[in-house]
Amino acid sequence: MIKCHLSKLMGEKKLKIVDVARETGVNRGTITRLYHETASRVELETIDALCRYLDCEVGELFEFMDDH
């Protein structure tokens, strides 16, 4: 399972979904799905935009969690 830490990263920086969407150009619905961890797929361009905007590495945004 892949865990998305977008809500944690946004909380630390006190960012709102609408602000992240506006600043990154990523669709607000996509940000919302990532924030609530309901997204089933993510474009690499989206990951790139979020990492650049949040000044983080991919591993800080997503984490692999073993289901076993």
Q: Which residues share a beta bridge with 30?
A: none
DSSP state of 13: T
**For the segment 13-55, what is each residue's pLDDT rounded down to a tens digit?**
999 999 999 999 999 999 999 999 999 999 999 999 999 999 9
Q: What is the second-level CATH architecture of the domain 2-64?
A: Orthogonal Bundle (1.10)
Q: How far apart are CA 53 and CA 65, in angstroms?
A: 25
* Burial 29-55, CB ≥16 within 10 A → b, else e: ebbbbbbeeebeebeeebeebbbebbe
pLDDT of residue 67: 79
What ranges do the domains of the chain cover? 2-64
